[in-house]
Amino acid sequence: MVIISQILDEVRSIFFKDERIVASDHFFSSGKRKHGSRVYIIIHTNKRDLFVKYDQNGKSDAFNKEYNSLKKINSSDFSSPQPIGLINKGMVISVVNGIPLESLICRDGLDKSIRVLNKTMVLMASFHQKYVSQQSKSINQKLYDEMVKNKISLPKKIPMDEINLGFIHGDFDPFNTFFDSNSLKFGLIDWEDFSEFGIQELDALHFVIITGIIANQSISHQKLYEVVFSNYESNPYLKLLQIYCRERQSPMETTLKLIPAYCDIQNDRLKKAKRDTSDFLYNEFKKRYYEFRAI
């Protein structure tokens, strides 16, 4: 295929002097998702394994953002791709070993995957703590103003200084979290939505909600809210959130009050990716949140 050959030629320009391609494989993103024009290539050289993300349209600055984000991440909690180089319309990064937790949940079921998921929440809390900001008044005000500008539901009765601000992944879910059963190490990929001054609890909410979606694919959005956020004593999803809150020493109730803001932020992110949110899960979750709070 011509496009693949052209990309490989570009990638060779950032190789070491004695490095050569041994094998490669590629796949295209689904047209139903936000990056229908993307090409992904796994390259095996005689020295290392590389991963190429390439946009045929070349209209997005997402790769530059992710590349620069990866330069700022140096965490022992999660292995992250190492930025190797930027090419025209794409970037080259190292490969993260393991399988997505999404595949683990689908293969083994939630109950058999719970230990790995519990550990993920502990590591997420540790990662956030290492990159927490000092939450100065200026940062809090900037966040507040940005939420107002983007029409994000502001959490009522929560002082802004109760919210943990700092590095967030932005799309921290079982699709982007990897586990290597050989090394017992965790990896985190896809840093395009990274922010240095995000609400860290939103990463935890996102992980728990998407875990619920993966483990309950046949139920309605309305029912899913009840599955994820009700029955405190026996709810595995709330227990995951409790682990995170315990490790951060932050109130569980504070995190739960962020659900409407989380829903608005996710919808805003999807709209920017030109995806239809009119019948999307986050609209239903926000509605159900207020219904449950009224009970």
pLDDT per residue of the chain (295 residues) written in tens, 0 to 9? 668 999 999 999 888 889 999 999 999 876 444 556 889 999 999 999 999 999 988 766 889 999 999 999 988 999 999 999 999 999 999 999 999 999 999 999 999 999 999 999 999 999 999 999 876 666 667 777 888 787 888 766 666 667 899 999 999 999 999 999 999 999 999 999 999 989 999 999 999 999 999 999 989 888 999 999 987 778 999 999 999 999 999 889 989 999 999 999 998 888 877 777 777 789 889 999 998 876 5
Q: Which of 116, 128, 275 is nearest to 203 (CA)?
A: 128
CA distance 231 to 249: 22
Residues 245, 227, 262, 128, CA torsion sign: positive
CA distance 103 to 106: 5
Torsion angles phi and psi, residue 200, rounded to 5: -65, -30
CATH of domain 99-294: 3.90.1200
Same fold, 2-94 and 99-294: no
Q: Which of 24, 26, 76 is nearest to 48 (CA)?
A: 24
Query: What residues does each domain of the chain span?
Result: 2-94, 99-294
Q: How far apart are the first and last CA of the chain?
A: 59
Taking the model in full, what pTM does it have?
Answer: 0.92
Indicate the fold that domain 2-94 takes in CATH.
Phosphorylase Kinase; domain 1 (3.30.200)
178 in helix, strand or coil? strand
